[in-house]
Structure 1
Amino acid sequence: MAIKVYGQPASSATRRVLVALEEKGLDYELVLIDLYTGQHKKEPLISINPFGQVPGFEDGDLQLFESRAIASYIAHAYADKGSPLISKDPKKMAIMGVWVEVEGEKFNVAAQLLSYELYLKPIKLGLTADEAVVEKRQAELAAVLDIYEARLGKSKYLGGDDFSLADLLHIPILYNLQKTKVKAVFDARPAVAAWAANLLARPASHKINAA
């Protein structure tokens, strides 16, 4: 099997890559990395990702790290497989690229920390959320989602009328946040709520997030 993912399903970054592979219908091997015992700082992962973080990725002799870069590679290298995640139209690709950047630079800045405080800490680690952090980041997320609401009022998906990589990158964190009180921030915006429900209902999303 040529494709290997070194990671942990509890990691949203790992799930980002797995959802991309499932959308493409590709065979792959998931090599479980135990974060609690520090396996991410040891071989074989440390040779793939010198920062010692999941996921690591191998496709034959190609090794990659950083989940968004990996998902982009999958979308381009296997463009003729499974769900189309990119377009041959340069204008559509440019629009999609804008929202790929927005996910990483705007949405994820607030959403990742909210996921950690409200999903990972209390649900996975048995710790108490820092409500000061939650309040600040929830306000930041709400401001981002106001912009998403305006965009999604014009098109079904962020990049246009078709599901794309720009939407896929949101899926793991969306799943986490929909299980917390922050779901109300999404639900208060009808177009955003419909978009989130649509993404989480996709078979690839359901398979990976429910695992």
Structure 2
Amino acid sequence: MAPKVHGSVFSTATMRAFATLHEKGIEFEVVPINMGAGEHKKEPFICFNPFGQVPAYEDGDLKLFESRAITQYIAHEHHGKGTELVYKDAKKMAIVSVWMEVEAHHFDPVTSKLVFEQVVKPMMMNMETDSAVVEENQKKLGQVLDVYEVRLSKSKYLGGDGFTLADLHHLPTMNYLMGTSTKEVFEARPHVCAWAKDILARPAWIKTVAMQKQA
């Protein structure tokens, strides 16, 4: 039986799960959750995630929530199939884990605020963007990407020479921001810019984005 992903094709967290499944070549079923109607805050979804946040993942009798936990499960469970997004070698995996933590604690908090201000508010909520919040967070993002620029001057990808979850986890918010003025923050750093273009062009990610047009 194919695994099920409960979520929205427009949710950055859900898109992480979709991208991982596409990278591994795993067929899956999407169970749409209408977040505008608040379906993620009530039954039956709340039985999958008591915090009421998408996505949730079903694989047989296994039920998971939290997107980064889901991607790690998929990558480890299907090791040897599709793109190897994790390593069995402890030292190599430790480096990948470091940059996965960096994404979760340094990159995502800033980029999520920028996505909300520059994409969600004007396009989905008919609200004005707060330019002061954008300016503040673009500055913070620049400081984060300065660290990335140094790292990516030494290796093609964040976790080493190969594309891993450390890179994949960045894709959803990055993708949205490439249609905003924040794109310039990425482009101002040559190695970051090259890395971003590389991972955004991956076939698995293109498939993930295409799911929005089909919805």
TM class by shorter chain equals over 0.9
Match of 1:136 in 2: 136
**Shift in Å, 1:2:** 3.4
**Shift in Å, 1:109:** 1.3
Name segments (4+ residues, structure 1) moved above 4 Å. none
For residues 182 and 210 of structure 1, the distance between their equivalents in structure 2, rounded to whole angstroms, comes to: 22
**Shift in Å, 1:181:** 0.5
For residues 73 and 205 of structure 1, the distance between their equivalents in structure 2, rounded to whole angstroms, comes to: 19
Correspondence list, 1:99-178, <5 A: 99-178=99-178
**Shift in Å, 1:42:** 2.0
- Tell me the alpha carbon deviations over residues 44-80 of structure 1, each in whole angstroms, 9 at most, x when there is no partner: 2100000111111101000000101101111111112
Q: What stretches of structure 2 of length at least 5 have no aligned partner?
A: none
Number of aligned residue pairs: give it: 211
Match of 2:79 in 1: 79
For residues 71 and 157 of structure 2, the distance between their equivalents in structure 1, rounded to whole angstroms, comes to: 18
Correspondence list, 1:1-211, <5 A: 1-211=1-211
- Tell me the alpha carbon deviations over residues 174-197 of structure 1, each in whole angstroms, 9 at most, x when there is no partner: 101111100000000010011011
Please report the TM-score for the alignment, with normalisation by the length of structure 1. Answer: 0.97
Q: Percent identity among equivalent residues?
A: 54
**Shift in Å, 1:87:** 1.2
For residues 120 and 162 of structure 1, the distance between their equivalents in structure 2, rounded to whole angstroms, comes to: 32
- Tell me the alpha carbon deviations over residues 128-169 of structure 1, each in whole angstroms, 9 at most, x when there is no partner: 111121111111100000000000000000000100010010
RMSD value over aligned CA atoms? 0.9
Please report the TM-score for the alignment, with normalisation by the length of structure 2. Answer: 0.96
- Tell me the alpha carbon deviations over residues 84-115 of structure 1, each in whole angstroms, 9 at most, x when there is no partner: 00112211111111000000000111011101
**Shift in Å, 1:124:** 2.8
Q: What stretches of structure 1 of length at least 5 have no aligned partner?
A: none
